[in-house]
């Protein structure tokens, strides 16, 4: 165990994991965080706290994560290289760990142009891969990038992202390999709406033996309406939604589109579950968190045993993932 | 001149030749030395024309498909990011081809250094900006490019 986080325990025990993303509030009130968390808590193993995703300001990643940790949830704190240099990132990793956060997700981050303050200065001192290596160095070698020792290293489970649906497609599995070399423990992918592409990606990942070295969680989420889907794929970086999905939503009455979107998401989860090398799903329900519980339940992923200690690993290859 | 970038194999051969040609002058080519200014001018001119070089001082061209990573709007050295558009264009600048889509494509045409795109590049040292990457390379024992704590296993 590297961190002992709930997410790590679930994954290492060989169970199919469910993580969910919390939409951070535009508020200084902790209650706003708890209101969002409570609908997710019983249906997922860990909750992702985004870092100004889409380059829009919200309550900070570490703020949200610390509140969740304090309430007994298992937060995954996301760090994007967009807004902080290496000095700030390393300090924040220590701070988050001190506040009880046990999962750290290392991201490049969306460009500032995607948000509502495109005039901001982008940082990108490190990139996602050098950040992964940096956090691993802090955890396993007990030192900062400068070489200076850390008194009590941050015991964190290190995450990274991948987008199998963005070009160059044949490089994506190799990029996962690079992240594995850098020291990543788990990967969460971008939203999946294109099953053939995901299958191709996972096949390459498994052929390279990467599924034995890293836990892979596939990103999924419901689409509210054809209009919302269209908006997401044009405005949110990295989201690819095939026309066929939008047509399917257009094919039902307006009133039923939301239900249809949920149905699509559940079907995708069920297909994803059967793909070799997949360790779990990461549910992102942008502005429709209340749907997450229904989706997880109807996809047959309940109950979550997160309050119990996991059984010892029954399956050899899971245990071998150091 | 920019078109030369689409001849990555030719460029890697040129890279190799330059590196070998400079070796004998190691003694006179010192960081901060007299020759540095000349080299900086030369690199700005030649690499500027061919690669749109940003003079980061720590050149990794041969490891990134002879495509300058500093021209990526996120200056990613281990790209591409997840925001690449379906048509292969950049998330930040939609009119521009993704630097890393190009880098990956070109690396596939480089028998000698192509594989290096799979190795992890260290974060660039900002204090080398504006210095000569060639001179820094020749003096790798004196010029600190990799952070002390960076672990490589
Ligand atoms: S990597 Fe640095 S030195 Fe090389 S071309 Fe790009 S900016 Fe210039």
pLDDT of residue A306: 52
Mean pLDDT value across residues B102-117: 96
Mean pLDDT value across residues B130-139: 93
* Nearest one of A37, A48, A94, A39 to A75, comparing CA atoms: A48
Q: Is the CB of B143 under 6 A from ligand 1?
A: no
pLDDT of residue A180: 98
Q: Is the CB of B59 under 6 A from ligand 1?
A: yes
CA distances from A60 to A33, A79, A94, A150 (A): 11, 10, 15, 25
pLDDT of residue A70: 96
Token output for A44: 């997922």
Is the per-residue pLDDT at A313 higher than 50? no
Which of A109, A124, A177 is the closest to B75 by Cβ?
A: A124
Is the per-residue pLDDT at A308 higher than 80? no
Cα angle, residue B69 at apex, residues B133 and B130 outer, rounded to 5°: 35
pLDDT of residue A319: 37
Q: What is the pLDDT of residues A34-76, one digit of tens each?
A: 999 999 999 999 999 999 999 999 999 999 999 999 999 999 9
**pLDDT bracket for residue B18 (50, 70, 90):** confident
Is the per-residue pLDDT at B3 higher than 90? no
Residues β-bridged to residue A250: none
Q: Is the CB of B51 under 6 A from ligand 1?
A: yes
Beta strands in chain A (DSSP E): 17-22, 46-49, 75-80, 103-107, 157-162, 186-191, 215-220, 280-283
Secondary structure, 3-state, chain B: CHHHHHCHHHHHHHHHHHHHHHHHHCCCCCCCCHHHHHHHHHHHHHHHHHHCCCCCCCCCHHHCCCCCHHHCCCCCCCCCCCCCCCCCECCCCCCCECHHHHHHHHHCCCCCCHHHHHCCCCCCCHHHCCCCHHHHHHCCCCCCCCCCCCCCC
Q: What is the pLDDT of residues A293-304, one digit of tens each?
A: 999 999 999 988
Between CA A221 and CA A233 the distance in angstroms is 13
Residues within 8 A of A (CB atoms), B 78-107 only: 78-86, 88, 91-92, 98, 100-101, 104-105
> Do B74 and A133 lie within an 8 Å CB cutoff?
no
Q: What is the pLDDT of residues B57-74, one digit of tens each?
A: 999 999 999 999 999 999
Q: Is the CB of B64 under 6 A from ligand 1?
A: no
% of chain A exceeding 90 in pLDDT: 91
Say whether A295 sits in a helix, a strand or coil.
Answer: helix
* Angle, helices A128-136/A86-98, rounded to nearest 10 degrees: 50
Kindly state whether B75 is in contact with chain A, defined as any CB-CB distance less than 8 angstroms. yes
Contact yes or no for A293/A42 (Cβ under 8 A): yes
> Do B73 and A122 lie within an 8 Å CB cutoff?
yes
Say whether A158 sits in a helix, a strand or coil.
Answer: strand
Neighbours of B120 (CB within 10 A): 19
pLDDT of residue A312: 41
Among chain A residues, the shortest Cα distance to B116 is held by A178
Task: Tokens 């290096």: give the residue.
Answer: B116
Between the two ends of chain A, the Cα-to-Cα distance in Å is 8
> Do B79 and A127 lie within an 8 Å CB cutoff?
yes
pLDDT of residue A147: 96
For residues A293-307, b (16+ Cβ closer than 10 Å) or e, as one string? bbbbeebebeebebe
* Nearest one of B16, B121, B17 to B79, comparing CA atoms: B121
Residues 6+ apart with CB under 8 A from B126: A125
> Do A130 and B78 lie within an 8 Å CB cutoff?
yes
% of chain A exceeding 70 in pLDDT: 94
Kindly state whether B150 is in contact with chain A, defined as any CB-CB distance less than 8 angstroms. yes
The residue that leads in pLDDT, A247 or B17, is: A247
* Nearest one of B130, B144, B136 to B26, comparing CA atoms: B136
Give the gap in angstroms from C-alpha A124 to the nearest C-alpha of chain B. 6
Contact yes or no for A51/A79 (Cβ under 8 A): yes
Is the per-residue pLDDT at A190 higher than 90? yes
> A232 contacts in B (CB within 8 Å)?
none
Q: Is the CB of B56 under 6 A from ligand 1?
A: yes
CA–centroid distance, residue A80 to ligand 1 (Å): 24
- A171: DSSP letter: G
Residue A85 backbone phi and psi in degrees, to 5:
-90, -175
Give pTM, 2 decimals.
0.94
Mean pLDDT value across residues B27-54: 91
> A175 contacts in B (CB within 8 Å)?
80
**pLDDT bracket for residue B10 (50, 70, 90):** confident
Pocket test for ligand 1, best of B48, B62, B68, B145 (most atoms within 8 A of CB): B68
Between the two ends of chain B, the Cα-to-Cα distance in Å is 39
* Nearest one of A78, A48, A15, A19 to A292, comparing CA atoms: A19
Average pLDDT, chain A: 93
Is the per-residue pLDDT at B102 higher than 60? yes
Residues β-bridged to residue A161: A188
pLDDT of residue B31: 87
Q: Is the CB of B53 under 6 A from ligand 1?
A: yes
pLDDT of residue B32: 85
Pocket test for ligand 1, best of B1, B44, B63, B69 (most atoms within 8 A of CB): B69
pLDDT of residue A315: 39
Residues 6+ apart with CB under 8 A from A133: A182, A183, B120, B150, B151
Q: What is the pLDDT of residues A148-181, one digit of tens each?
A: 999 999 999 999 999 999 999 999 999 999 999 9
Among chain A residues, the shortest Cα distance to B115 is held by A174
Is the per-residue pLDDT at B1 higher than 90? no
Output Rg (C-alpha) for chain B, integer angstroms.
Answer: 16
> Do B104 and A113 lie within an 8 Å CB cutoff?
no
Among chain B residues, the shortest Cα distance to A162 is held by B82
For residues A239-274, b (16+ Cβ closer than 10 Å) or e, as one string? bbbbeebbebbeeeeeeebbebbbbbbbebbebbee
Q: Is the CB of B47 under 6 A from ligand 1?
A: yes
pLDDT of residue A287: 80
Task: Tokens 């995703």: give the residue.
Answer: A53
**pLDDT bracket for residue A321 (50, 70, 90):** very low
Q: What is the pLDDT of residues A252-293, one digit of tens each?
A: 999 999 999 999 999 999 999 999 999 999 999 988 888 999
> Do B120 and A133 lie within an 8 Å CB cutoff?
yes
The residue that leads in pLDDT, B80 or A311, is: B80
Mean pLDDT value across residues A176-198: 97
Supply the DSSP string of A239-267, one letter for each residue: ----HHHHHHHHTS-GGGHHHHHHHHHHH
Is the per-residue pLDDT at A317 higher than 60? no
Q: Which protein residue has the closest C-alpha to ligand 1 atom 8?
A: B53
Token output for A29: 């009130």
Is the per-residue pLDDT at A185 higher than 70? yes
> Do B149 and A140 lie within an 8 Å CB cutoff?
no
Q: Which protein residue has the closest C-alpha to ligand 1 atom 3?
A: B59
**pLDDT bracket for residue A320 (50, 70, 90):** very low
């Amino acid at each position: 165990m590297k961190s002992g986080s709930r997410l790590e325990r679930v994954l290492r025990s060989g169970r199919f994991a469910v993580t969910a993303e919390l939409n951070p509030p535009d508020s200084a009130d902790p209650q706003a965080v708890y209101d969002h968390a409570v609908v997710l808590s019983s249906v997922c193993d860990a909750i992702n706290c985004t870092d100004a995703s889409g380059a829009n300001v919200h309550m900070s990643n570490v703020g949200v994560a610390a509140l969740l940790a304090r309430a007994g949830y298992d937060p995954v704190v996301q760090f994007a290289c967009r807004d902080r240099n290496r000095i700030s990132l390393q300090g924040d990793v220590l701070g988050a760990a001190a506040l009880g956060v046990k999962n750290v997700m290392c991201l490049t981050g969306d460009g500032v142009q995607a948000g509502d303050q495109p005039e901001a200065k982008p940082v990108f001192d490190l990139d996602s891969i050098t950040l992964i290596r940096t956090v691993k160095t802090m955890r396993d070698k007990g030192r900062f990038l400068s070489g200076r020792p850390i008194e009590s290293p941050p015991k964190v489970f290190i995450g990274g992202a991948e987008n199998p649906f963005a070009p160059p497609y044949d490089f994506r599995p190799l990029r996962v390999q690079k992240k594995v070399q850098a020291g990543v423990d788990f990967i969460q992918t971008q939203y999946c709406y294109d099953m053939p592409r995901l299958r191709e990606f996972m096949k390459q990942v498994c052929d390279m033996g990467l599924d034995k070295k890293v836990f892979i969680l596939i990103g999924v989420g419901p689409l509210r309406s054809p209009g919302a889907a269209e908006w997401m794929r044009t405005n949110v970086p990295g989201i690819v939604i095939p026309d066929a999905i939008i047509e399917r939503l257009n094919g039902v009455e307006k009133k039923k589109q939301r239900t249809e979107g949920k149905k699509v998401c559940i079907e995708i989860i069920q297909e994803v579950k059967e793909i070799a090398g997949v360790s779990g799903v990461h549910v992102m329900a942008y502005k429709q968190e209340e749907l997450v519980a229904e989706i997880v339940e109807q996809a047959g992923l309940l109950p979550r045993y997160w309050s119990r200690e996991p059984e010892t690993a029954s399956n050899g290859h899971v245990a071998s993932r150091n | 001149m920019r078109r030369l970038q689409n001849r990555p194999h030719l460029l890697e051969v040129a890279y190799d030749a330059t590196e070998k040609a400079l070796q004998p002058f190691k003694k006179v080519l010192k960081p901060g030395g007299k020759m540095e200014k000349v080299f900086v001018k030369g690199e700005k001119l030649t690499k500027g024309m061919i690669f749109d070089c940003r003079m980061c001082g720590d050149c990794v061209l041969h490891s990134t498909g002879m495509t300058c990573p500093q021209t990526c709007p996120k200056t990613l050295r281990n790209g591409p990011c997840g925001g690449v558009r379906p048509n292969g264009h950049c998330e930040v600048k939609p009119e521009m081809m993704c630097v890393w889509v190009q880098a990956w494509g070109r690396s596939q045409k480089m028998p000698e250094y192509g594989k290096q795109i799979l190795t992890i590049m260290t974060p660039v040292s900002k204090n080398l900006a504006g210095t000569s990457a060639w001179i820094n390379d020749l003096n790798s024992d004196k010029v600190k490019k990799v952070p002390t704590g960076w672990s490589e296993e």
